[in-house]
Structure 1
Amino acid sequence: MHIPPHDNGNRPIVDVDHPLVPLTYFNIVKLQAGEIYDYRLDGYETCVVPATGTVDVAVEGETFAQIGHRRTDVWDGDPEGVYVPCGTGARIAARTDTETFVAGARYDVQLTPFAVRADELDVVQYGSDDTKTHRKIKHILGANHHERVGRLLVSELYTVGAGGWSGFPSHKHDTDRLPDETRHDETYNFRFRPDYGSGLQMLQRADNEPGDAYHVMNGSTVLIDKGYHPCCVLPGYEMYYFTILGGLSQRSLKQYFQPTHAEQLHRIPGIMDMVARFK
């Protein structure tokens, strides 16, 4: 499902118990310096990540100060975030004008809040210019924080250079059938540089059968409920997408790669290292 760019008025774009992706939650909060935004989600753990600007995040009496240092756009430095446990009140206070992402996953055990600073990110780069798959992933809630989070995975994905593909070799994660695959709902929010760039999100429900394709633009949100889902960006433009994964029975993601393209796993440099980081 594609949700076109729009002013959401600080209301959830993907709310709790969404009919397509009930395991994820997504909101974009836009504040001017000095403004605040309060929220509390029962049954969902969340992560506050400024796309731009700097915020303080208060969680149950503890304040995590000066989160985020990007000014212009998501290419202007590394992300930072704050983990907010389920059923816990959080206050986002804007130190500067800010656009802040709130990512969530269904989980009902209350854990301990913590901040993720730029030097604590788990960063992996894979692919190549030759295979048109060169990209970098900055894991905010990834393998480095596996023991401190319930079901939520949060990362930022960048194409390296202009043009190219991401999410390839095509994979899916819509069925719990370990050890081959896990059920993880997924939500993306796209950005492009320059911001008038655009791309294509494919969603192929079954191997070797026609699927759907969405024209994604700056600010588009895509919900991945089922099927193989590679995406690409127009030549001459860079692409970014904020990624939220919520697991049904476990946090670690087990991707099932599309049989038709399985040989590409051995042709794209670094692909298996990338797979290992979604823990």
Structure 2
Amino acid sequence: MHIAPYDNQNKAIVDVDDAHVPLTYFNIVKLKAGETFDYRLAGYETCVVPATGTVMVETGGESFDEIGNRGADVWDGEPEGVYVPTDMGCRVTALTDTETFIAGAKYAETLKPFAVRKAELDLVQYGSDDTKTHRKIKHILGAGHHDRVGRLLVSELFTVGAGGWSGFPSHKHDTDRPAGPDGEMEETRHDECYNFRFKPNYGSGLQMLQREDNKPGDAYHIMDGSTVLIDKGYHPCCVLPGYEMYYFTILGGLSQRSLKQYFQPTHAEQLYTIPGIMDMVAKFK
């Protein structure tokens, strides 16, 4: 499903128990310096990530100051964030004008809050210019925080260069499917939500969603600020030549945090043509 860019007035774009992706939550909060935003989500853990600007986050009796360092856009610096546990009140105070993402995943337990600074990001880069798959991933809540988070994975993904494909070879993660009697999973159910940005901001791209192998699917024209909900199916995306693409990624697992992607059989041989792709797979845990 594609949600076209609009002024959400600090109200959730993907609310709790969404009909398409009930395991995820997404809000964009825009504040002027000095303004505050309060929220509390029962049943969902969240992560506060400034897209631009700097904020202070207060939650669970702790205060995390000077979160975020980016200026003009998401390419202008490194991401930072604060993990906010389930059913814990949170106040976001804008220290500068800010656009802030709030990412969430359904999770029943209440853990402890913490900040993720830019030096703690889990980084991976893979693909190549030749294969038109050059991509950089900055995991905010990635493998390095596996023991401190319930079901939420939060990352920022960038195309490298001008134009190209992302999320290829095509994969899906819409079913909890054990690989054998030992309990190892061949695929895990993780609902997913994207918010896209383009550089320059009048660029655009395409999000595919093929729900069955070798059968026609859907394609969405994505623009700066588009939100896409991935409920089921294989879902590569691409950006027009001459533009760069970014997307903020939220994953919420049904039964576990570690993501197990199932690659589309028709294109599975491409796994061996794209440099570093298995490193990418290993980081989504």
| TM bin (shorter chain) | over 0.9
For 2:273, which of 255, 267, 272 is the aligned residue?
267
Q: Which amino acid aligns with 1:124?
A: V
Q: Which amino acid aligns with 1:13?
A: I
Residues 217-242 of structure 1 deviation map (CA, whole Å, 9 limit, x = unaligned): 00000000000000000000000000
What SS does structure 2 have at the residue aligned with 1:269?
Answer: coil
Q: In the aligned structure 2, how far is the partner of 1:212 from the partner of 1:119? A: 39
Instruction: Specify the alignment match of 1:148 in structure 2.
Output: 148
Instruction: Specify the alignment match of 2:253 in structure 1.
Output: 247
Say whether 1:135 aligns with 2:135: yes
Cα displacement (A) at 1:194: 0.1
Q: In the aligned structure 2, how far is the partner of 1:104 from the partner of 1:72? A: 25
Say whether 1:184 aligns with 2:190: yes
What SS does structure 2 have at the residue aligned with 1:242?
Answer: strand
Q: In the aligned structure 1, how far is the partner of 2:214 from the partner of 2:277? A: 22
For 1:215, which of 217, 221, 224 is the aligned residue?
221
What SS does structure 2 have at the residue aligned with 1:38?
Answer: strand
Instruction: Specify the alignment match of 2:199 in structure 1.
Output: 193
Q: Which amino acid aligns with 2:78?
A: D
Q: Could you say what the CA RMSD is over the residues aligned between the two structures, in angstroms?
A: 0.3
Residues 229-261 of structure 1 deviation map (CA, whole Å, 9 limit, x = unaligned): 000000000000000000000000000000000
Instruction: Specify the alignment match of 1:4 in structure 2.
Output: 4
Q: In the aligned structure 2, how far is the partner of 1:218 from the partner of 1:259? A: 32
Aligned-residue sequence identity (percent) comes to 80
Q: In the aligned structure 1, how far is the partner of 2:228 from the partner of 2:221? A: 10
Instruction: Specify the alignment match of 1:56 in structure 2.
Output: 56
For 2:263, which of 248, 257, 262 is the aligned residue?
257
Cα displacement (A) at 1:45: 0.1
Cα displacement (A) at 1:155: 0.1
What SS does structure 1 have at the residue aligned with 2:48?
Answer: strand
Instruction: Specify the alignment match of 2:110 in structure 1.
Output: 110
Instruction: Specify the alignment match of 1:17 in structure 2.
Output: 17
What SS does structure 1 have at the residue aligned with 2:192?
Answer: strand
Instruction: Specify the alignment match of 2:74 in structure 1.
Output: 74
Q: Which amino acid aligns with 1:192?
A: F
Instruction: Specify the alignment match of 1:42 in structure 2.
Output: 42
5+ residue gaps, structure 1: none
Instruction: Specify the alignment match of 1:204 in structure 2.
Output: 210
Q: In the aligned structure 2, how far is the partner of 1:165 from the partner of 1:197? A: 14
Q: In the aligned structure 2, how far is the partner of 1:60 from the partner of 1:50? A: 19
TM-score, normalised via structure 1 length = 1.00
5+ residue gaps, structure 2: 179-184
Q: In the aligned structure 1, how far is the partner of 2:172 from the partner of 2:62? A: 38
What SS does structure 1 have at the residue aligned with 2:189?
Answer: strand
Q: In the aligned structure 1, how far is the partner of 2:36 from the partner of 2:61? A: 15
Q: In the aligned structure 2, how far is the partner of 1:149 from the partner of 1:115? A: 12
Residues 179-218 of structure 1 deviation map (CA, whole Å, 9 limit, x = unaligned): 2100000000000000000000000000000000000000
Cα displacement (A) at 1:61: 1.7
> How many pairs were matched up?
279
Q: In the aligned structure 1, how far is the partner of 2:77 from the partner of 2:147? A: 27
Cα displacement (A) at 1:60: 2.0
Q: In the aligned structure 2, how far is the partner of 1:207 from the partner of 1:98? A: 42
Q: In the aligned structure 2, how far is the partner of 1:20 from the partner of 1:233? A: 24
Q: In the aligned structure 2, how far is the partner of 1:71 from the partner of 1:39? A: 25
Q: In the aligned structure 2, how far is the partner of 1:166 from the partner of 1:16? A: 28
